[in-house]
């Protein structure tokens, strides 16, 4: 098993969202401008156990960020762009105890800057210390399919993937100026498509692309989600990828995991 040390505070590495409850708040968007690496202010308090909270965060006008009912594992998953199964060595309380976080960031902060700010908060307030180590895990691999590739080379612009509103029928996903590596990392955070495992890009494609695809409301969880034949109310993500000339296949592969060396209950305000 290989390992390499990673400081808890570091330059953003363009990893994408991991925890769907927290990360569905932001679209995938990466801008080249300088961004701060710490929240302007951050208030952390233990959640009231008598109050049921969804754990879904939101960004309000002016840069106010509200993250109710967050477990430390959720915050680590967001900050380092991994799925929960790629976090190892965390104490039991880190997945059970919940915290309410209210923070202030510049209104122009990008999602990648927010991840960097979260890494800083984890290092300073939770005393998080980590390293990276390889882990063999179940994951989806994105490869080229047998049919012709139906994505377009991008002319530039913002990097994003977003849902296009539809009154009925399959939902339409629009991706612009995104690399296949970024798209693969974003897939587990796309709600309602049944991808609950990490996705690794092995297409060999370089550069950024524009494309669209349609999927039904696909909520099947577990290993059955790997089968294109499991379909709730429309095309699956597997058939959608096939139409683009791509393929999603579940395998056992080696992925970099976040190993916890130290984490403490936070200093509260």
DSSP string of 190-232? STTS---S-EEE-S---S-EEEEEEE------SGGGG-TT--S
Of 130, 152, 174, the position where a domain reaches its end is 130
pLDDT score of 6 more than 50: no
Same domain, 25 and 122: yes
Confidence of residue 173 (pLDDT cuts 50, 70, 90): very high
| Angle, CA 251 vertex, CA 250 and CA 256 arms, to 5° | 110
Same domain, 7 and 125: yes
Quote the CA–CA distance of 7 and 83 in Å, as a whole number: 19
Quote the CA–CA distance of 263 and 31 in Å, as a whole number: 31
Mean pLDDT of 221-250: 72
Phi-psi region of 222 (alpha: psi -120 to 50; beta: other; left: phi over 0): left
Of 130, 159, 182, the position where a domain reaches its end is 130
263 lies in a domain? no
Mean pLDDT of 132-161: 92
Q: Which of 8, 13, 132, 126 lies closest to 70 in space, CA to CA? A: 126
What pLDDT sits at residue 209?
A: 96
Q: Which of 220, 200, 188 lies closest to 137 in space, CA to CA? A: 200
Range of the domain at 183: 136-254
Same domain, 87 and 177: no
196 lies in a domain? yes
Same domain, 22 and 123: yes
Mean pLDDT of 92-114: 87
Same domain, 193 and 90: no
Q: What is the DSSP letter of 187?
A: G
Same domain, 154 and 250: yes
Mean pLDDT of 262-268: 87
Quote the CA–CA distance of 4 and 144 in Å, as a whole number: 31
What pLDDT sits at residue 114?
A: 83
Residue 188 φ then ψ, to 5°: -65, -15
259 lies in a domain? no
Taking only the tens place, the pLDDT of each residue in 11-67 is: 333 333 334 334 433 333 333 445 678 898 999 999 988 776 655 677 777 788 889
Higher pLDDT, 127 or 165: 127
Mean pLDDT of 160-177: 84
Same domain, 181 and 107: no
pLDDT score of 73 more than 90: yes
Mean pLDDT of 1-17: 39
- Give how many domains the chain has, as a whole number: 2
The DSSP bridge partners found for residue 204 are none
Confidence of residue 148 (pLDDT cuts 50, 70, 90): very high
Same domain, 114 and 147: no
Residue 3 φ then ψ, to 5°: -150, 155
Task: State whether residue 105 is helix, strand or coil.
Answer: coil
What pLDDT sits at residue 11?
A: 36
265 lies in a domain? no
Taking only the tens place, the pLDDT of each residue in 219-232 is: 543 344 444 444 44
What pLDDT sits at residue 226?
A: 44
Quote the CA–CA distance of 189 and 57 in Å, as a whole number: 14
261 lies in a domain? no
Strand positions, DSSP E, the chain = 3-6, 41-46, 58-59, 64-70, 87-88, 99-104, 129-144, 152-153, 160-164, 171-178, 199-201, 209-215, 246-262
Residue 111 φ then ψ, to 5°: -55, -40
Of 111, 130, 149, the position where a domain reaches its end is 130
Quote the CA–CA distance of 162 and 149 in Å, as a whole number: 21
What pLDDT sits at residue 33?
A: 47
Same domain, 219 and 170: yes
269 lies in a domain? no
Quote the CA–CA distance of 40 and 92 in Å, as a whole number: 30
Task: State whether residue 50 is helix, strand or coil.
Answer: coil
Same domain, 123 and 140: no
Higher pLDDT, 40 or 245: 245
266 lies in a domain? no
Quote the CA–CA distance of 12 and 45 in Å, as a whole number: 26
pLDDT score of 4 more than 70: no
Same domain, 239 and 209: yes
Higher pLDDT, 68 or 233: 68
Task: State whether residue 19 is helix, strand or coil.
Answer: coil
Identify which of 67-81, 101-115, 176-190, 200-214 has the greatest average pLDDT: 200-214
Same domain, 109 and 66: yes
Angle between helix 111-125 and helix 72-80 axes, rounded to 10 deg: 130
pLDDT score of 183 more than 80: yes
Mean pLDDT of 86-110: 91
Identify which of 91-105, 182-196, 228-242 has the greatest average pLDDT: 91-105
112 lies in a domain? yes
CA 206, 191, 75, 34 dihedral sign is positive
């Amino acid at each position: 098993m290989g390992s390499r040390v990673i400081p808890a505070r570091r330059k953003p590495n363009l990893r994408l969202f991991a925890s769907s409850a927290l990360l569905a708040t932001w679209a995938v968007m990466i801008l080249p401008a300088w961004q701060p690496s710490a929240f302007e202010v951050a208030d952390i308090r233990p959640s009231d156990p008598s109050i049921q909270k969804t754990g879904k965060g939101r960004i309000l006008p002016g840069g106010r960020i509200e993250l109710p009912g967050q477990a430390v594992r959720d915050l680590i998953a967001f900050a380092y762009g991994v799925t929960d199964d790629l976090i190892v060595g965390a104490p039991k309380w880190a997945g059970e105890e919940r915290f309410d976080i209210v923070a202030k960031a510049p209104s122009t902060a990008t999602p990648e800057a927010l991840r960097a700010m979260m890494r800083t908060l984890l290092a300073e307030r939770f005393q998080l210390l980590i390293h990276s180590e390889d882990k063999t895990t179940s994951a989806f691999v994105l490869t080229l399919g047998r049919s012709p590739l139906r994505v377009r080379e991008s002319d530039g612009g913002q990097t994003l993937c977003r849902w296009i509103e539809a009154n009925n029928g399959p939902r339409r996903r629009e991706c612009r100026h995104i690399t296949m590596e970024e798209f693969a990392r974003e897939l587990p955070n796309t709600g309602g498509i049944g991808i609950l495992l990490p996705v690794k890009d092995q297409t060999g494609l370089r550069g950024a692309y524009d494309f669209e695809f349609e999927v039904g409301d696909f909520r099947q969880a577990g290993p059955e989600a790997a089968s294109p034949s499991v379909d709730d109310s429309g095309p699956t993500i597997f058939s959608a990828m096939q139409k683009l000339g791509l393929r999603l296949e579940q395998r056992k592969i080696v992925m970099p995991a976040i190993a916890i060396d130290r984490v403490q209950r936070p200093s509260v305000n």
